[in-house]
Amino acid sequence: MVEEATIRCLADYEHSSEERLKGPMYGIVVDATRRFFKPHNSKYVASLKVIDHTWNKAKSPAGFVPFMKLVLISSVRDDIPNIKTIGSIIKLKDGALKRINDMKSSSLMCTWDGATASNKWELFSSEPEQEEKSAKASDAQEEKYLATLRTFTKSYFAEQYFLDVANTLTMAKNSDTEFDVIVRLAKAGLVSEGDGKSFDLKLVDHTGKAHLRIPQGVMAEEFPKLDNSALLMVKGARYRDAKENIIELKDYGNLLIVPVASIIATRFFELTHLYNEGTKVEQRITQEGLTKSFTVSQIADPTLLLSPIKSIFASTEPLPRYRLRVYVVDIGPKDVHSWVKGYCAACMKSFDLTDQDEPTQPKCLICEKEAQTIFQIQLFVKDWKDRDSDEIYKLMLYTHNGKGNGFFDHEPAVNLRRDQRLYQKLKSMHRLLTKYGVYLDCVVERMSKEMNAYFQVCDTVVSCDCVREIKD
């Protein structure tokens, strides 16, 4: 019988010096390694990241997702839980505790001695209807507590990025280090390798595909049957053969099923749709670009007459706005991450953002006041009727004054090091804007009254919906 007073939340152990679990402790698993063997001490180990309803976003530092790190150790393999679904609820019943010196999180090591596995832990599903596949509550008090955790899990996963989603298969391919990545399972089957057989899992994301090879015996012992189209977190992988797109798992590498009703799943499929739509437009332009021309933008006032770009740079006439049709030669900065900057209106200075800065409200590096995020890029262009000329002009897209901030399909400027969806969208737009046969129809304003001053792009929107063949 589980008494309510004996149930412990994670916060009870955050700063405690307890050497043993005092009653059952429950945690929602948001990340986990596979159980693996460490030869140097002949122990089986798994490392879990768990949270519960005591998690408080308001009290956490910027860019930090608080969790309890649990390292589970035993000399018996079956003593270690084999976590395969993110959102599983683990119940630790007993165990010796030791605090680990880890600056990133509250960390506990839990070891067992003597007791059987059934007296050490239990796994519960985050979905009540799936309880027949997992442990069931032993009494009303435990059922009530599980209901609280399940309610929290649903809202938490729908709102929070509980995993790092910045990596992609293409990015990982260009790195020599191991990686984690969110992918969709497209197909699974046996293949012959060397003297045995391996499971071949075809994995895809919006940037490409890879084949994960897992030995047949390991697959049968360590991994559940996976449904085609399942969304997975591949943890601790590396490319074994980059040319053939073959990857494999480290000894602690894992496959974790990502909840469909989560913001990560939503963004994954948004990115896939966005990439597919952008690819269709690019393919159409590539196929027809040698014989046809396209604009990829629309302007607020299409009644404005087109002006040759050379004439507006040479003119001192104080016209408020000019309409240009230009061919984009290049876009700066080269790194799309740097297209969004922090900007302090008090200091009138812009600055680079890092992956530690808040997505929308960074702080000024000089005065430390709250700053804004802006698009800050340069478009190197030629006039659409003079593309063979050697003369290249520079147009500015600086949105510090609110002008031109709808340029990228009305997307707001946010830290691209923290928003993978928008980063990928802007990369697609970069390819689109610089393709042969593509022209930008835009409105610009003179940024100063001086001769040969820079011009700022305004009242212009670029998107896949704006692609039009030029008839005139």
The ranges assigned to domains in the chain are 4-159, 169-261, 289-469
Q: Does domain 4-159 have CATH number 3.40.718.10?
A: no
Across the chain, which distance is largest between two alpha carbons, in Å? 89
Q: Which residues pair with 203 in a beta bridge?
A: 185, 210
Specify the pLDDT at position 435: 85
Residue 348 has pLDDT above 60, yes or no: yes
Non-local CB neighbours of 351 within 8 Å, separated by 6+ positions? 341, 342, 343, 344, 362, 364, 365, 371
pLDDT single digits (tens) 253-274: 999 999 988 989 988 888 787 7
Question: Confidence class of residue 369 from pLDDT cuts 50, 70 and 90?
Answer: confident
| Separation between Cα atoms, residue 394 and residue 379, nearest integer Å | 6
Q: Do domains 169-261 and 289-469 have the same CATH topology?
A: yes
Q: CATH fold of 169-261, please?
A: OB fold (Dihydrolipoamide Acetyltransferase, E2P) (2.40.50)
Residue, of 114 and 316, whose pLDDT is higher: 316
Q: Is 424 exposed, middle or buried (0-12, 13-18, 19+ CB in 10 A)?
A: buried
| Separation between Cα atoms, residue 235 and residue 224, nearest integer Å | 15
Residue 40 has pLDDT above 50, yes or no: yes
Question: Confidence class of residue 60 from pLDDT cuts 50, 70 and 90?
Answer: very low
Residue 29 has pLDDT above 50, yes or no: yes
pLDDT single digits (tens) 109-118: 777 665 555 6
Residue 64 has pLDDT above 50, yes or no: no
pLDDT single digits (tens) 274-293: 777 777 777 777 767 667 88
369: three-class secondary structure by DSSP: coil
Amino acid at position 230, single letter:
A
Q: Does domain 289-469 have CATH number 2.40.50.140?
A: yes
pLDDT single digits (tens) 380-433: 999 988 877 778 889 999 999 899 999 999 999 999 888 878 888 898 889 889
Q: Is 159 exposed, middle or buried (0-12, 13-18, 19+ CB in 10 A)?
A: exposed
